[in-house]
Amino acid sequence: MKLFAALREQAGAAEREIELPADARVSDVWAALGLGAEPDGLLYAVNREYAPRERALADGDEVALIPPVSGGAFRLTEEPIDLNAVVAEVADERAGAIVTFSGTTRVESRGRSVLHLDYEAYPGMTEQVIDEIAGELKSKYDLCEVAITHRIGRVGIGETSVAIAVSAPHRHDALAACHEAIDELKERVPLWKKEVYEGGEEWIGRGS
C-alpha cells in the first residue's frame, strides 16, 4: 500500500502492509487502514492505473491511495526548470506556433504569506498519466509536439513549478491545447503540493 502527501503524514509512513480477505475489493482498502473517515475526493490506483472501487484485488497488486491532486512531465525534476529547454523539445518544422505556460510560486495565497512550496509525486504513474494526457491532446487538436516538465521537492518564491510547451501548425490549436493541458494536469496527475506559509503548512487539493 502506497500513501502520498497528507495521507502519508497521517499514516506516518509512505507504505503500509495490510491484510485483506481473498475476495477483497478496492473499496475495502480504506477501512483496513484504520485512519478514520475516508476523505472526499480520494482515488485509488492498482498497479499504477486508476481503479474503480468495485475492482477485485489479487495477491501482489500494488495499491496506492491518491489524494485530490494538485499540480508534467514527460519529466519530473528536482532542479530549476529551463523554459527554453522545454520549448526546444517541441521544435518542429511544421509548427507555425509554439505556446508556453509557466506556473510560478507566488508570495501570497488565500491571504497568507507563502514561504515556499513542496511538491510530491507518484513516480512512474505521474509520467504515465501525463503521457496519456498528451496523447489525448494530440488526438483532439492538430499538434506537432507537447512537452511538460514539473518540479518536485521544494520550490521557492518566484521559481517555476511547471512548464508546458505545445507546438502546432496553427495558433488556435496550440493555445487551446496548452490551456487544456494545465487543467487536465491539475485534475488527473498524481502530484501534490504543500503550501508552507508563515505560521503553518497545508496540502493543497485538486485544481489549485
Across 16-25, 94-103, 105-114, which has the greatest mean pLDDT? 94-103
- Give yes or no on whether 5-66 and 75-204 have one common fold: no
Mean pLDDT of the residues in the chain = 87
Architecture of domain 75-204: Alpha-Beta Complex (3.90)
Residue ranges per structural domain of the chain: 5-66, 75-204
Which residues have C-beta within 8 Å of that of residue 35, sequence separation ≥ 6? 7, 10, 11
Residue 196 has which C-alpha cell? 508552507
* pLDDT at residue 208, rounded to an integer: 56
* pLDDT at residue 69, rounded to an integer: 45
Has residue 84 got a pLDDT over 50?
yes
- Alpha-carbon gap, residue 196 to 193, rounded angstroms: 10
- Alpha-carbon gap, residue 33 to 12, rounded angstroms: 12
What would the mean pLDDT of 89-117 be, rounded to a whole number? 92
Chosen CATH of 5-66 out of 3.30.460.10, 3.40.50.620, 3.10.20.30, 1.25.40.10: 3.10.20.30
> Model confidence at 179, in pLDDT bands (50, 70, 90)?
very high
What would the mean pLDDT of 117-124 be, rounded to a whole number? 88
* pLDDT at residue 73, rounded to an integer: 34
The SS3 of residue 149 is strand
Has residue 51 got a pLDDT over 50?
yes
> Model confidence at 68, in pLDDT bands (50, 70, 90)?
low
